Amino acid sequence: MYDKVKVFIGLAIFVVAALSIVGYNMSVGDKDGFRTDGKPGPEKPAGHEKCVKETAYMQTSHMVLLNKWRDEVIREGKRELVETVGGEMVEKSLQNGCLSCHVSKIKFCDRCHEYANVKPYCWDCHLAPVETPASKEAH
Amino acid sequence: MKVLRPIIAVSLLILVGGVLGLSQGTQMLVGVILPSIAFLVFIVGFIRKVLDWSKSPVPFKIPTTCGQAKSLDFIKADRFDCPDSKSDVIVRMFLEVFLFRSLFRNTKAEMHDGPKITYGANLWLWLFGILFHYSFLTVVIRHMRLFTEPVLPGLGFLEFMDGFVQIGAPVLYQSDLIFLGCVVALFVRRLISPQVKYISLGSDYFPLLLIFAIGATGMLMRHYFRVDVVAIKQLTMGMVTLNWTNPGNIHPVFFIHVVLVSTLMMYFPFSKLMHMGGIFFSPTRNMANNSRAVRYINPWNDPNIKPHSYAGYEDEFREFMVDADIPVDKPLPPKAAEPEEAKED
């Protein structure tokens, strides 16, 4: 074998880079227990059963709906109420609609967003709801 | 058509991933077990290939010299195109690995009326190549959000910068577009240029098609099918922490994506993609052009055969050389026994 030292340094960099993710996960510990129970578990709102679309749709595509609402409300002035799957009427609004049921951003939005490292720019304009100390502690 | 078989191969892989991704039973096989094996094949195959290369001797000093070598003091040497020392070689390798300098130096000769020949810079290959590699790197690093919990610090910033234009929701990443655009450009280049098409083989088309399919399924997952990222992260986190789990309700397109990526990882060590490690083993790049200043010893040399200098050669054959009237550096010692014979010379 030629250039043993250089080859081993190069291979060591390669192996460390390739396995660093496994090492990282082991070293940081299981924050929030996501890794063992495997669910970020957003808090369901009390007293409301159905959202404006089916759960499966909301889980994957709520951002599309919110984007559409944003365009309709801000750009086209269409502020009519939206009917939920359960028949309730809600405002087409993030703060007055979504957050009227899902009262906590930290316990609802942030749970999955932090898990999936999604940083939506909703809160660039919208004011995040004031969370009570209790809800912050629970997080 | 050499391009036909790679197209069939990638289509079959997509089909396999789609079919096996449909049922809950086989999802674990293609979603967790296959990529785990593929990752091991990638690591072990890569190391074996590098060790194999490190055992291959380089008999001669063969750096490509693309500029003036170090010479007399008043002649300006081109340090990085004709490196003379180890530090010059390191700079040359750095520019090669990070900036693809040898592609940047590409020129194209054209005949014009006259006849007159002109040489011009031809940077398309360099441009698409470097954009492709760096956007691929960005995409790979971005994926680490699915393999780390809590998410690696800095990934949020990277995603923010990558989605800077904030088009749509979920936001469009620039790196995705550049990545796919460059793969298409590199593929089309092989088809439209007759010279390049002539030297292109199935093993050139296959990785491009495979990588295109990977990028396309990735973008489809994000923007068209909008798969459940939380469910996917549960699966991927289970994979890297060896708590294998299938949360269910994952769209089959995810499994197509994973089958294609697994194929890429397993194909990697046995293909041209090994240029990732091979670039460091290129004697035409990693050697200094200083064979006149520093003796280069061929590793093939038999250690039992000692170097034989001219002085030693003359010592051995002086008598015969003098006999044959060949001029010698050192005359024969005068011989006491036959003085008249020596005088004749």
pLDDT in tens, B289-336: 999 899 898 988 888 988 888 999 999 999 999 999 999 998 888 876
Examine the domain organization and report whether A34 and A90 are in the same domain.
Answer: no
Q: What is the pLDDT of residue A37?
A: 59
Range with the largest mean pLDDT of A114-123, B110-119, B200-209, B228-237: B200-209
Q: What is the pLDDT of residue B334?
A: 81
Examine the domain organization and report whether A121 and A61 are in the same domain.
Answer: yes
Q: What is the pLDDT of residue A33?
A: 61
Residue A76 has pLDDT above 90, yes or no: yes
Q: Provide Rg for chain A, Cα atoms.
A: 22
Residue A63 vs residue B333, higher pLDDT? A63
Residue closest to B67 by CA, chosen among B95, B43, B44: B95
Examine the domain organization and report whether A102 and A34 are in the same domain.
Answer: no
Asked if B241 reaches chain A (Cβ–Cβ under 8 Å), the answer is: yes
Residue A16 vs residue A36, higher pLDDT? A16
Give yes or no for a contact between B230 and B240, defined as CB atoms under 8 angstroms apart. Answer: no
Work out the mean pLDDT of chain A and round it to a whole number: 84
Q: B170–A118: do the CB atoms touch at under 8 Å? A: yes
The C-alpha atoms of residue A54 and residue A46 are separated, in whole angstroms, by 17
Instruction: Provide the strand spans (E) within A6-129.
Output: 82-83, 89-90
DSSP structural state of residue B118: E
Examine the domain organization and report whether A8 and A56 are in the same domain.
Answer: no
Residue B89 has pLDDT above 70, yes or no: yes
Instruction: Say how many CB pairs under 8 Å bridge A and B.
Output: 107
Which residues of A fall within a CB distance of 8 Å from B253? none
Examine the domain organization and report whether A77 and A28 are in the same domain.
Answer: no
User: One-letter amino acid identity for B304?
Assistant: N
Examine the domain organization and report whether A48 and A21 are in the same domain.
Answer: no
Across residues B76-104, what is the average pLDDT?
93
Which residues of B fall within a CB distance of 8 Å from A114? 150-151
Across residues B192-213, what is the average pLDDT?
95
Q: What is the pLDDT of residue B249?
A: 83
Across residues B150-179, what is the average pLDDT?
91
Q: What is the pLDDT of residue A34?
A: 61
Q: What is the pLDDT of residue B32?
A: 94
∠A6-B140-B262 over CA atoms, to 5°?
90
Choose among B54, B237, B240: nearest Cβ to A3.
Answer: B54
Examine the domain organization and report whether A81 and A46 are in the same domain.
Answer: yes
Work out the mean pLDDT of chain B and round it to a whole number: 91
Closest residue in B to A118 (Cα) is: B156
**Total of domains in chain A:** 2
Examine the domain organization and report whether A53 and A33 are in the same domain.
Answer: no
Test mutation, A16, A57, A60, A70, chain B, max B CBs within 10 A: A60
Q: What is the pLDDT of residue A38?
A: 63
Asked if A14 reaches chain B (Cβ–Cβ under 8 Å), the answer is: yes
Q: What is the pLDDT of residue A134?
A: 55
ipTM of the complex: 0.87
Residue B338 has pLDDT above 70, yes or no: no
Residue A136 has pLDDT above 60, yes or no: no
Asked if A22 reaches chain B (Cβ–Cβ under 8 Å), the answer is: yes
Examine the domain organization and report whether A21 and A71 are in the same domain.
Answer: no
Examine the domain organization and report whether A70 and A94 are in the same domain.
Answer: yes
Here the tokens at position A121 are 């720019």
Structural domains in chain B plus CATH codes: 4-60+128-286 (1.20.950.20), 310-344 (no CATH)
Residue B341 has pLDDT above 60, yes or no: no
Here the tokens at position B218 are 């990735």
Across residues B154-176, what is the average pLDDT?
91
Across residues B32-46, what is the average pLDDT?
96
Examine the domain organization and report whether A51 and A93 are in the same domain.
Answer: yes
User: One-letter amino acid identity for B71?
Assistant: S
Asked if A139 reaches chain B (Cβ–Cβ under 8 Å), the answer is: no
- Binning pLDDT at 50, 70 and 90, where does residue A138 land? very low
List the domain range (segments joined by +) for residue A71: 42-138
Examine the domain organization and report whether A130 and A100 are in the same domain.
Answer: yes
The C-alpha atoms of residue B77 and residue B289 are separated, in whole angstroms, by 12
CA B317 to chain centre: 51
The C-alpha atoms of residue B206 and residue B210 are separated, in whole angstroms, by 6
Here the tokens at position A32 are 């929030």
